[in-house]
Amino acid sequence: MSRADKIRKAAQRTAGEVREAAKRQRDTQRRERARREFAVGEHRHCSVCWAPIPLDADPPVCSDEECAEKQRKREGSRKRLTVMLYLFPAIAILLVLLQAMGASG
Ligand SMILES: [Zn+2]
């Protein structure tokens, strides 16, 4: 291999690397810009996978069917939990009242 060949090869390799690096940088910049543009606008996150979704999305999940299903289940258990949260103290108070009435009466 002659010296000129070596230089040409090295130059080609370097050019290729530069092209690669430029492409990578462009990709990164494009992603950054897309992210920023989305971040500027008001938005919320899918409550399951935290993907950004429109602010008025209801229920607050992305378009993924799996997320919608999980959200439905979660909503159901949340409602049960809320009911229990009120029901148990109510029963406890009722028992105390009954006992007090029994003791006095
Ligand atoms: Zn999701």
pLDDT at res. 10: 85
pLDDT 10s digits, 13-67 = 888 888 888 888 888 888 777 666 555 578 899 999 999 999 888 889 999 999 9
For 43, other C-beta atoms within 10 Å of its C-beta total 14
pLDDT at res. 57: 87
Ligand 1 mean position to 74 CA, how many Å?
Answer: 13
Residues 92 and 30: their CA atoms lie apart, in Å, by 60
Instruction: Check pLDDT > 60 for residue 12.
Output: yes
Ligand 1 mean position to 5 CA, how many Å?
Answer: 55
- How many residues does this entry show for the chain? 105
Q: Residues whose CB is under 5 A from ligand 1 (ion)?
A: 46, 48-49, 51, 62, 64, 67
| Whether 14 contacts 33, CB under 8 Å | no
Q: Distances in Å between the alpha carbon of 51 and those of 31, 56, 94, 96?
A: 15, 14, 45, 48
pLDDT 10s digits, 58-99 = 889 999 999 999 999 999 999 999 999 999 999 999 999 999
